[in-house]
Amino acid sequence: MAVTHVHRVLAFASGKAFGFARRILLSGNFVLYLSIAFFAGLYLFMPYIASGRNLANISSNMWPLLALVLGQMFVLILGGIDLSQTSIMALTSVIGGMLMTTRLDPALFAKSPLWGLLLSADGSPLSGTVLAVPLGIAAMLLVGTLVGSLNGLAVAKFRMPAFMVTLVSMMFFSGLAIYLTKSENIMYLPDGYTRIGSGGIGPVPWSFLVVLVLAVAAHLVLRHTVLGHWFFAVGKSIRTSIVSGVPTERVIVTGYAVSGFCAAVASILYSARLAGGRPTLGQNLLLDVIGAAVIGGISLFGGKGKVLWALFGVLFFVLLSNSLSMLALPFYAEPVVKGSVILLAALLDVTRTRFLAREAAA
Amino acid sequence: MPDSILQFDGISKSFFGVRALEDVSFSLPRRHLLGLIGENGAGKTTLMNILGGVLAPDSGRMRLRAADYAPRRPADATGAGIAFIHQELNLFTNLSIADNIFIDRFPRLGRSPFVNKGVTRKQTARLLESLNLLLPPQTLVDRLTPGERQLVEIAKALSTGAEIIIFDEPTTSLTAAETQRLFDIIRDLRQQGKSVIYISHNLGNVLELAEDIVVLRDGRVVDAGPGKDFTIDRMISRMVGRAIDQIFPTRESKPSDEIVLEVKGLSQTGIVKDVNFALHKAEVLGLFGLMGSGRTELARMLFGLEPFEEGEVLVNGVPCGRICAGDSIRRGMAFVTENRREEGLLMEATVVDNIGLVALSAFAAARFPHLLRHRRLGDAVTQIAESMRIKSGPVARSLAKNLSGGNQQKVVIGKWLMSRPAVFIMDEPTRGIDVGAKYEVYSIINDLAARGASILLISSELEELMGLCDRIVVMSKGEITGGFDRGGFAQEPILHAAFKGHQRLLQGGRAGQR
Amino acid sequence: MNAAKWVCIVLVAAALVLTDPSCARRDGTGDQVTVCFAFQDLETEFWVAAHKAIIETLRSKGIQVIERNANQDANRQLEQIRAAIARGVDGIIIIPQDGESAVTIVGEANKAGVPIGVFNRPPTNRSRPALVVVADNLKISEQAVAYMAEQAKKLGRKVTPLILVGDLGDSNAVARRQGFMNVIQKNPDLFNEVIEVPTKWDAVTAQANLEAALQRNPNVDLIFTSSDFMYPQVRAVLEPLGKWKKIGEPGHVILGGVDGDLRAARWMKERYVDATGVQDLFFEADALLNALLEAMKGGQKTPEKWMDDPGFALTQANIAERAKDMWGFKLLAEQGPAGAQ
């Protein structure tokens, strides 16, 4: 008698647990819960993961990556991909560095094509002036947007596949960045600029504020404007969008321009942190960007994406990186673990979609 | 009393609390053809999915050849001798007929992994012969007409030893000749001992073929009996739940003399040649022709989706230069394409997002930051959805891909209605939707005309055009071959105009090729 | 569910935003002494051997080593160092991607008061205190080329020299070339015009360019490679031309290089190569580690010391006594007869 009673209770409890687990799994905020659970689990083994210093590290690593993912999200929603974000970072880092630097070593830079034209031993014509930093930043944003627009034009007007266009862009602009500086790094950047990477208003870091504004703007555009709806429409079905009068070419160019702009923002944050204009900036970040986007739930097939998902994906990814850094694992374990997690995330996404579709089928 | 080969007993199924099937019971006698009819959403597809092992019923059971039958996946159904010929054919167009038929069980050379091509070819030839489809087995499916492709599917079903064959809307893409051939084959199948379930909206065909008829409505069996006891009226009224006095609503308004759209000398090499016609205000103008006559291409040119070399298009007397879809929309035109899944809808988007797509800019705030007025948009969409009787869940959450064909089409039309266009081009708006929804679409067309809009209606169903239009223009091979006023509508002369230029008329030629 | 979601988000956001990066609290490693060793990819044998030397030395002293590979990404290395500091390491050793990022990273360690040592790739300026060991590449290559010049004099005629130049973005490559040029310029009557073959530190490029250069100038008498890892390419080009010959055989080209790796060791032993400028890897590792451990023990937070490795030239003349000091010979001995090609 008691046995069957226990059986019933167990069955009931496991049924409830199963239902709860399923709800969590299918929820759109799954990655957030996963991150929190992961953090809690790590805390048990490594309490210093919750130290002020480590949390600051996590935070400072999150915001520039989030800027990149926000830009990539626009392109992913359109059903495309932007492989050139890292090269845009490198190019803008170099251009900003050249405009803002206060000192250039002739031994290193004399061979640069811009030596004599724009650059000299004292830097650029703007160096030392009050305008150096704002104009430098403005130039970086402008260049990022322009390169992005070029990508968008190629994809929209010439119907070239996004993968190919942005891959070519990546190689070309990366090469350009190295050519302009003859693969030297630019140092001696003014304090006003490097403070962006490490300072803030009171305890709140600048990088957070900048990316917060970016994220809010992205959310507003995607959810509350006509343009935002057009992004999703083009991503879900470009043919239907054309017939329905959506200006698809304009939408596509804008999407890629935004991605380039965001890459420039990320470049500002990373360059300020490293206190240098570096032609190799961000070389290995592409996996992180796409990985964080996929983990967050932004579909590689287009038509789906939320700012919140980008945030959760970046949070989880940075937590993962941070935890790998903390553990004393051999160094080759890191890419293996990261790759496996991204694979799992993609599988999970497919399973969830199929699950939801099956439930809705009639 | 012939024994039943298949029996449904109290089958019920719900999704998310919505009842799709409720206590469905009927049986299929051996060697009979049972016609299963009902509106879209009545439950026919769900029932067939249960039969085919795609879904499991919540309650009830099935019996096959007097034994319990509970398939857990489609392979179980195929193994039990049940085959489906779907509306959307599942053939590989880049492979040959033989490859398609034997794709999952090629005859091997002994026990090696190599395919025995000779045996494959011979078996395929035999199957094709039994269906009177005299084509070489290596023919690529890509080259076949829809009718021939369907026969290949039937051959495939027969080759798996199917005893029960279910046809789902088989005649939508067939010419008249092919339809007849299909019926002959179905009769042959029954003589060979197979049993058939026939699902179709073409009630006349069902009456012609079926020994038994079952009517589903809202998931229940509301009528069943021998086919000879049924009439079209009885079938319709049972399906819809009310007496339908007529298939077409009465046209009450009359077209004015004012010309809103004029086409002069439109030509594009190989597609259309010297097309001239005029569309008046408040007029419903039908455009008839065989498949491949250039009607859809013409419509796309008028709307700006395809270019044309010569000729002019004038909207309200003003010539349009190079047009694009956006320009046409701004001039007050609308275009319901014939391919709603790929060009009419955003399948993965909600009903609100779909219906709002064209008129979106009208719902943005006037001043910066131009934010969308979500609530106003939602209200407008709900209003349209209600007035068109679109059956979906909550409009802000139901996805277009989960709606029935008829409701999907209404969403597409609703999308265009939001911007109140003056000229509506509709290409096959009632294809693949059930009787009830068709009537509603006809009423919408009538309403539009009554309110002063003009409609260019492209359709392959002559009865439909004759019932709705003020005038019918006929195209054949890219040229206008005839024009008829309402008073002078007659099948023969219109068909004649449609076939002009086609030498071989009905003898299974490739005339209807797209 | 929605309310819970927002609460979570606010909590997480607050935790991440309102943290003071200057917080000096370090928890976590207890009594065990821990050192973080951060490097970049280990592309050549030199780095592999350096990595091994450093790890073994640290472990032999009972120190726990946390290894981090930044895959040639300066930004990643910065993040890794920060994480290590947060974890609470007692000391840091880095092989930086370039001199500029070294400055930034040293700054981070300084701020946190963790002693830091930089191995072999020096920071571009001395604005921030650190322990640095750097090989005097110029002197090392000068010594090797000086010996090669002596051998050239024995030929009694003018000699055509060729140098495989490294990636001039690397200060080491620049120094080595300068050392070579110094010797050439000191002997204007001995040497014809120098043939410079760029390699960008890439083996494939080196082989292709060397091939082309030898086609244009078949009568090269002396080849100096800026790094020993390109010896296989030199051999691949010389052998079909009949110029891969031992010392004393007709057709021998005077060969020399810098680094002192396993291949150089083997071919010096077999007398194909005349001289090798050696970075005294063991000296460098020991010097840096000793300095770091001393600083750690003494509780110094921002120690500063620049140590030079003068290196030496291993030549056919002194090979008997000094072979054991070259790290490549050590590897050769470990590998036994089945040495790498």
Specify the pLDDT at position B371.
85
Residues in chain A with CB shorter than 8 Å from the CB of B343 are 237, 239-240, 243
Both tokens of residue B289? 């022709």
If phi > 0 it is left, if psi is from -120 to 50 it is alpha, else beta; for residue C47 that is: alpha
Interface partners of chain B (CB pairs < 8 Å, 3 or more) are A
DSSP state of C252: P
Give the gap in angstroms from C-alpha B219 to the nearest C-alpha of chain A: 12
ipTM: 0.84
For residue A221, give the chain B residue with the closest CA: B371
Specify the pLDDT at position A155.
96
Name the phi and psi angles at B264, rounded to 5: -125, 115
For residue C37, give the chain A residue with the closest CA: A331
Q: pLDDT averaged over chain A? A: 87
Q: Are C81 and C107 in contact (CB under 8 A)?
A: no
How large is the average pLDDT for residues C127-132?
Answer: 91
Q: Are A141 and A261 in contact (CB under 8 A)?
A: yes
Q: pLDDT class for C130, splitting at 50, 70, 90?
A: very high
> What 3-state class would DSSP assign to A355?
helix
Q: Touching check for A146 and chain C: CB below 8 Å? A: no
Q: How far apart are CA B173 and CA A16, in angstroms?
A: 50
Q: How many CB atoms sit inside 10 A of residue A113's CB?
A: 12
In chain B, the largest separation of any two C-alpha atoms, in whole Å, equals 78
> Consecutive sets of 10 residues in chain B, 514 residues long: mean pLDDT of each?
82 78 91 87 83 89 90 88 83 89 83 87 88 87 84 86 88 80 89 90 87 89 91 81 66 84 90 91 91 87 90 86 83 91 91 93 81 89 89 83 85 92 92 80 90 92 87 91 87 81 48 38
For residue C29, give the chain A residue with the closest CA: A48
Residue showing tokens 């106003």 = B376
Give the gap in angstroms from C-alpha B401 to the nearest C-alpha of chain A: 10
For residue B403, give the chain A residue with the closest CA: A362
| Bond before A335 cis per omega within 30 degrees | no
Q: How far apart are CA A17 and CA A36, in angstroms?
A: 19
Nearest neighbour of C28 by CB, restricted to A46, A60, A330: A46
Both tokens of residue B354? 């779909």
Q: Touching check for A248 and chain B: CB below 8 Å? A: no
Helix ranges (DSSP H) in B131-249: 146-159, 176-191, 203-209, 232-240
Kindly report, residue by residue over C212-255, the tens digit of the pLDDT: 999 999 889 899 999 988 999 999 999 998 899 999 888 899 99
Taking the alpha carbons at both ends of chain C, their separation in whole angstroms is 65
Give the amino acid at B357: L
- Which residues neighbour C261 within 8 Å (Cβ) at sequence distance 6 or greater? C44, C45, C46, C49, C228, C229, C327, C328, C331
Residues in chain A with CB shorter than 8 Å from the CB of C20 are 52, 56, 203
How large is the average pLDDT for residues C253-278?
Answer: 90
Q: What's B263-285 look like in SS3?
A: EEEEEECCCEEEEEEEEECCCEE
Contact A52 C20 (CB under 8 A): yes
Label the pairing between strands B310-315 and B318-319.
antiparallel
Q: How far apart are CA C37 and CA B121, in angstroms?
A: 69
DSSP state of A49: G
Q: Touching check for A246 and chain B: CB below 8 Å? A: yes
Both tokens of residue B128? 């094709």
> Which uninterrupted H or E stretch holds A298?
none
Least confident range of A118-132, A170-184, B344-358: A118-132
Whole-structure pTM value: 0.76
Residue A353 forms beta bridges with which residues? none
Rg of chain B over all Cα atoms, to the nearest angstrom:
25
Name the phi and psi angles at B286, rounded to 5: -90, 145
In chain C, the largest separation of any two C-alpha atoms, in whole Å, equals 91
Label the pairing between strands C222-225 and C254-259.
parallel
Residue showing tokens 């069902």 = B206
Q: Touching check for C178 and chain A: CB below 8 Å? A: no
Chain C, residues 80-109, CB within 8 A of chain A, namely 80, 82-88, 97-98, 100-101, 103-104
DSSP state of B3: P
Residues in chain A with CB shorter than 8 Å from the CB of C15 are 55
Q: pLDDT class for A137, splitting at 50, 70, 90?
A: very high
Q: How far apart are CA C96 and CA C117, in angstroms?
A: 11
Q: Touching check for B20 and chain A: CB below 8 Å? A: yes
> Which uninterrupted H or E stretch holds B495?
helix B491-499
Nearest neighbour of B402 by CB, restricted to A242, A243, A360: A360
Specify the pLDDT at position C331.
80
DSSP state of B88: S
Q: pLDDT class for C24, splitting at 50, 70, 90?
A: very low
Q: Are B288 and B494 in contact (CB under 8 A)?
A: yes
Could you tell me which CATH class the domain A29-361 is placed in? mainly alpha
For residue A353, give the chain B residue with the closest CA: B348
Choose among A197, A200, A217, A220: nearest CA to A209.
Answer: A200
Give the gap in angstroms from C-alpha A340 to the nearest C-alpha of chain B: 29
Residues in chain A with CB shorter than 8 Å from the CB of C64 are 328
DSSP state of C280: -
Specify the pLDDT at position B235.
84
Nearest neighbour of A53 by CB, restricted to C21, C101, C169: C21
Q: Touching check for A249 and chain B: CB below 8 Å? A: no
Specify the pLDDT at position B511.
38
How large is the average pLDDT for residues A185-192?
Answer: 86
Higher pLDDT, A2 or A267: A267
Q: How far apart are CA C6 and CA B22, in angstroms?
A: 42
Choose among A48, A263, A40: nearest CA to A140.
Answer: A263
Give the gap in angstroms from C-alpha C125 to the nearest C-alpha of chain A: 11
Higher pLDDT, C57 or C7: C57
Specify the pLDDT at position C340.
46
Taking the alpha carbons at both ends of chain B, their separation in whole angstroms is 47
Distances (CA, A) of C221 to A17, C20, C252, C314: 81, 64, 8, 20
Q: How far apart are CA C30 and CA A269, in angstroms?
A: 35
Residues in chain A with CB shorter than 8 Å from the CB of C9 are 32, 308
